[in-house]
Amino acid sequence: MNQEHVQELQDVVIRFSGDSGDGMQLTGTLFSDTSALMGNGISTFPDYPAEIRAPQGTVAGVSGFQVHFGARRVINPGDYCDVLVAMNPAALKANRRWLKAGATVIIDGDSLTETNLRKAGFTTDDPIAELGLDGHNLVVPGITTMTREALKELELDNKSVVKCKNMFALGICFYLFHRPEDHAKKYLDSKFARKNPLIAEANKRAIDAGYNFAANTHQFANTYAVPAAPLEKGTYRSINGNVATAWGLMAAAEKAGLPLFCGSYPITPATVILEELAKHKELGVKTVQAEDEIAGICTAIGAAFAGNFAVTTTSGPGLSLKSEALGLAVMAELPLVVVDVQRGGPSTGLPTKTEQSDLMQALYGRNGECPVVVLAASTPGDCFRFAFEAGKIAMEHMTPVILLTDGFIANGSQPWRIPQMSDYPAICPPVVEPHPEGEAFMPYARDARHVRGWAFPGKAGLEHRIGGLEKHCLKGCISYEPANHQEMVRTRAAKVAAVADDLPRQEVMGAAEGDLLVIGWGGTRGNVQSAVEQLQEEGKRISLCHFNYIHPLPHGVREILGGFRRIVVCELNEGQLASYLRQQFQEFRFGQYNKCEGLPFTVVELKEEFNRILNEK
């Protein structure tokens, strides 16, 4: 390799794209994990096609994986790509709009057949000219042919050989960006070597073949080096939001000294949380894959009654089905965490697309006055922190908590510094100790924060029984009277409101006053923060207020709002948080910028909108 042609870059965006069966998710994951191990900051965006699989070779069936890696902390997966790896014409057409000027485009030349071009909707036999790609650095190797040649000595059928072409493309990118092959090969050995060592060997040879092709061709004018990021010292791993959520729940159970129970029904994109928890029986985790969403939450409620830290996981349609049982958990005042990994909908194909579509359902989607605590995580690694926080609030305040994540951060990944458990606070549930025989136990007696005691069935002197319960309860808890009913409603609301006393005050990123305050929540953080920071560097009087605690809102919000001339709320829905804030703070005017396309914001579009607002008189 000629070192004179090595160019150092501060950050790079690569998009791997192909048909639904081309293995682009695995290719992108191996490249991003390798970059994380080299110390780069990374942020990823897996872009899946519809659940109902489109015809092979069509634009609707394109699957993509975008990775942004750099010599600094990376907080978003990037808007436009420096390198596009397209395994067929449909992938090329679907991603044309995401190319930077002069970007490198690597496309499998063997896929440029008349049949494939027609399936992808091209009207000519020259996709390069039709898409206006003449100004880009085009590399058109015969990836499929060269993969077959590299694996011809192995006794594999043609279908298995062709499936390895994604590893050939990975080898090219490893060479282009000076990435070692070791991690990818170790992964392939761990995944295939025991059951099918021939497949493992074939994929490893394909990586080598792609690497050697790139090293010996003259089609790449430069190779690129991206230095390690100056991250805080510690032990890091690449983690996605679903795995981080599962680990945060386990950490909360450990700190509370209680077993963790998860009763759930599989649903995209939340299923991985249940799968991850099921791997850790040695940590006392119990999991039940229930027959439906209602059974999932009901098993969790029963587990909470029996003294477990209880969790159920779902997405928007499942949250709808769980609503009645969630009301039961509120009435019984049992600690329960409901993780809602939001997705777009309701519509065919949207289970794989991201939105912040369930906020109103989380806040109000139950009958009667039925308040619950609502939190929202912002990044993949952030999911650990807020899963832990959700468990702490649920168990210490004896209330259900809804934790909102979304498909973007659940499937996306980032380098995550593995924390020390000693850095996390103890969780102290109000567990009632055994009572002396004959001493009255009052199940609904409350402390100063309106929290009742948690008595597990079977404890001496605390056996739960129906007969004669009235004499051990506070007056009015059993029989209905209008005044008693109103008192219980107010008590539940006060208990949830008391959670705010345990929350950190709301912070603002930037000056405490200015021309524009941008409000975001949940998974929009990375892109919104990047847009705000870039405008701040240009001297604009703009700040960001990002919510993770949504109900109750933390202290200090009203003071922050009062310092700005204009306020705009950014969210991936039709304005749910904006409506909520208008209700809470009627003295302020909230503008809104919404997107409901199943895709995250881009930094470019956000900057354009913020500049437009700043330039208004």
More confident residue, 332 or 485: 332
pLDDT reported for residue 438: 61
Residue 601 maps to a domain = yes
Among residues of the chain, what percentage have pLDDT more than 90? 82
Model confidence at 3: pLDDT above 80? no
Residues in Cβ contact with 153 at an 8 Å cutoff, skipping those fewer than 6 apart: none
- 148 and 30 in one domain? yes
Residue 480 maps to a domain = yes
- 481 and 374 in one domain? no
- 536 and 473 in one domain? no
- 197 and 136 in one domain? yes
Residue 70 maps to a domain = yes
CB atoms within 10 A of CB 131: 18
Residue 200 maps to a domain = yes
> How would you class 216 by CB atoms within 10 Å of its CB: exposed for 0-12, middle for 13-18, buried for 19 or more?
exposed
- 492 and 521 in one domain? no
User: Which among 167, 192, 225 is the end of a domain?
Assistant: 225
Model confidence at 470: pLDDT above 70? no
- 303 and 256 in one domain? yes
User: Which among 368, 402, 423 is the end of a domain?
Assistant: 423
More confident residue, 222 or 140: 140
- 258 and 339 in one domain? yes
pLDDT reported for residue 456: 87
Dihedral angle, C-alpha 600, 605, 610, 611, nearest 10 °: 170
When mean pLDDT is compared across 354-368, 447-461, 488-502, the lowest value belongs to 447-461
Range of the domain at 436: 430-502
Residue 541 maps to a domain = yes
Dump pLDDT digits (tens) for 473-483. Answer: 444 455 677 88
Residue 339 maps to a domain = yes
Residue 232 maps to a domain = no
Dump pLDDT digits (tens) for 246-283. Answer: 999 999 999 999 999 999 999 999 999 999 999 999 99
Residues in Cβ contact with 252 at an 8 Å cutoff, skipping those fewer than 6 apart: 260, 309, 387, 388, 390, 391, 392, 395, 427
- 314 and 165 in one domain? no
- 205 and 74 in one domain? yes
- 488 and 554 in one domain? no
CATH of the domain at 141: 3.40.920.10
When mean pLDDT is compared across 51-60, 163-172, 183-192, 369-378, the lowest value belongs to 51-60
More confident residue, 441 or 529: 529
Rounded to 5 degrees, φ, ψ at 551 are: -145, 115
- 563 and 481 in one domain? no
CATH of the domain at 419: 3.40.50.970
The pLDDT of 289-295, averaged and rounded, is: 97
**How many structural domains is the chain composed of?**
4
When mean pLDDT is compared across 321-330, 438-447, 509-518, the lowest value belongs to 438-447
Query: What is the chain's mean pLDDT, rounded?
Result: 92
Which pairs with CB-CB distance under 8 Å and at least 24 residues apart come from 442-448? 442/472, 442/473, 442/474, 443/469, 443/472, 443/473, 444/333, 444/473, 444/474, 444/477, 445/474, 446/491, 446/495
Model confidence at 466: pLDDT above 70? no
- 343 and 478 in one domain? no
Model confidence at 543: pLDDT above 60? yes
User: Which among 165, 195, 225 is the end of a domain?
Assistant: 225
Distances from the Cα of 147 to the Cα of 13, 64, 111, 154, angstroms:
25, 21, 13, 12
Task: Kindly give the residue spans of alpha helices, DSSP state H, lying in 151-260.
Answer: 158-162, 165-176, 182-188, 197-216, 241-256
Residue 346 maps to a domain = yes
Dump pLDDT digits (tens) for 74-114. Answer: 999 999 999 999 999 999 999 999 999 999 999 999 999 99
Query: Which candidate, 166, 83, 87, 143, places its Cα nearest to that of 120?
Result: 87
CATH of the domain at 535: 3.40.50.920
Measure the CA–CA gap between 412 and 613, rounded to whole angstroms.
30
Dump pLDDT digits (tens) for 233-245. Answer: 889 999 999 999 9
The pLDDT of 183-199, averaged and rounded, is: 91
Measure the CA–CA gap between 285 and 304, rounded to whole angstroms.
14
**Contact of 401 with 373, CB cutoff 8 Å:** yes
The pLDDT of 354-370, averaged and rounded, is: 95
Query: Which candidate, 33, 255, 103, places its Cα nearest to that of 247?
Result: 255
Q: Is the pTM of this model over 0.85?
A: yes
DSSP label at residue 109:
G
When mean pLDDT is compared across 5-19, 297-311, 435-449, 602-616, the lowest value belongs to 435-449
Model confidence at 349: pLDDT above 80? no
pLDDT reported for residue 2: 47
